Amino acid sequence: MKVTGVDVHTVSVPFTHPETWRFGRMWGLTNALVEVHTDAGISGIGEVPGSPLIKLVLDAIEATVPWIVGEDPMRITQFLARASDRGWHHYPYLGNGAAAGIEMALWDICGKAHGCPVHQFFGGLDTERVPFYWFIGVDDRTPATARRQAAEGAERGFKTVYIKIGFDLDNDIVLARAIKDEVGDAVAVRVDANEAWSVFEARDALWRFEDVGVEFVEQPIDMHDIAGLADLKSNCRVRIGANQSAWLPAQVPQVLAAHAADVVVTDPHQLGGLVPFHNAATMCQTAGIPICKHAFADLGITTIATSHVLGTLPSPQLGHQQFLTFLTHDLCAEKITFEDGAIRVPTGPGLGVELDRDALSFYGDIYKRYGEFEGYGPVTPVSPLPDELHVARR
């Protein structure tokens, strides 16, 4: 079996409500969906996040495609080696995403060809249901809204709620306390600072968060300062999660060796595929450190693809990151649903999901008409789209 070609579809999928983080406001996701075709009539699907610029992502995919066309789709580690060796070490943050999207599709092909789900290639399931968190937007940054949104997540069975911080420290703490008071000890409260603080500022912030009882603070300082993370971890009781600091495969063992984090938060697009994501999970397991899937602007395909690896890891697991509760559509033919905050890992051949062709056309047209959503857009209450496009379509 040989790869005959790769189709790329660009879609802009609105959120039902905006996401606000310290870098700006997002009204939706603009991502690239890939379909890898073979001469055996078997095709696979994958996904590449479009942030920060979809045109760069599309160029990266176009540059990566020739390294798989004409090759055996089942020789996935050979493809990843080619992707690494042919220049992407100059642009790893961009190249890893493109390679990961195609690699997802190759795993989908392998599973379909052998009649088994992708998780079988990673050792089989330890758990059939992978836990995820409930993402709280709190666009107006008020305690009342934080309580209301947190209560909704708890009522829907999510065991972890998550909020972006890094705006105003006093108010960040007020919001976190309000959420904790609302959901109680049965639900974990996680906060993400997105590199908001200097080491000096972070020391004070983490000390103040100790009394709130958060699960952990994600990426409090600059991603490149692993030594600073280690210093904070050794001097503060609140647990620290490393996300941007564990972006690349070589950084994961550096974080672990430096004892710089209590949790590693990373994903296949940051690392360059499901294989390096599984490798990172194995390293974390060996070190006794939990790993969380990071949500790098996921539609449904990435969330499901990663769940095939997460389902093979030992339980219990911390809640993983997702964007599905923000999206008007997940682009999958069958809607992905949560059961008590968890997603059931598909058991059908390959990834176990297919693209919704009508949705692919609809959201492809939104991209053509309105362009891409900015991941770093201005914090404005006005969406670039008509209100009706921010309503879930199913």
H helices present in the chain, as ranges: 54-64, 76-85, 92-114, 143-155, 169-183, 199-209, 226-235, 251-257, 268-271, 274-287, 300-310, 357-370
Residue with tokens 């666009």: 139
Mean pLDDT score, 222-239: 97
Instruction: Give the chain's domains with CATH numbers.
Output: 3-116+355-375 (3.30.390.10), 120-344 (3.20.20.120)
3-state SS, 206-242, equals HHHHCCCCCCCEECCCCCCCHHHHHHHHHHCCCCEEE
Strand 160-164 to strand 188-192: parallel, antiparallel, or no bridges (unpaired)?
A: parallel
Mean pLDDT score, 264-277: 98
pLDDT digits (tens, 9 = 90+) for 213-229: 999 999 999 999 999 99
Res 120 pLDDT > 90: yes
Residue 378 pLDDT grade (very low, low, confident, very high; cuts 50, 70, 90): confident
Quick one: which of 314, 295, 217, 300 has its CA closest to 261? 217
What is the predicted pLDDT for the residue at 269?
97
More confident residue, 311 or 24: 311
pTM of the model: 0.96
> Are 125 and 345 a contacting pair, CB within 8 Å?
yes
CA distance 373 to 363: 12
Residue 52 pLDDT grade (very low, low, confident, very high; cuts 50, 70, 90): confident
User: Minimum mean pLDDT among 135-144, 251-260, 375-384: which range?
Assistant: 375-384
Res 394 pLDDT > 90: no
Beta-carbon contacts of residue 57 (< 8 Å; ≥ 6 apart): 32, 48, 49, 50, 94, 97, 98
Res 86 pLDDT > 90: no
Quick one: which of 316, 251, 233 has its CA closest to 93? 251
Res 372 pLDDT > 90: yes
CA distance 37 to 45: 9
Res 100 pLDDT > 90: yes
Mean pLDDT score, 118-127: 98
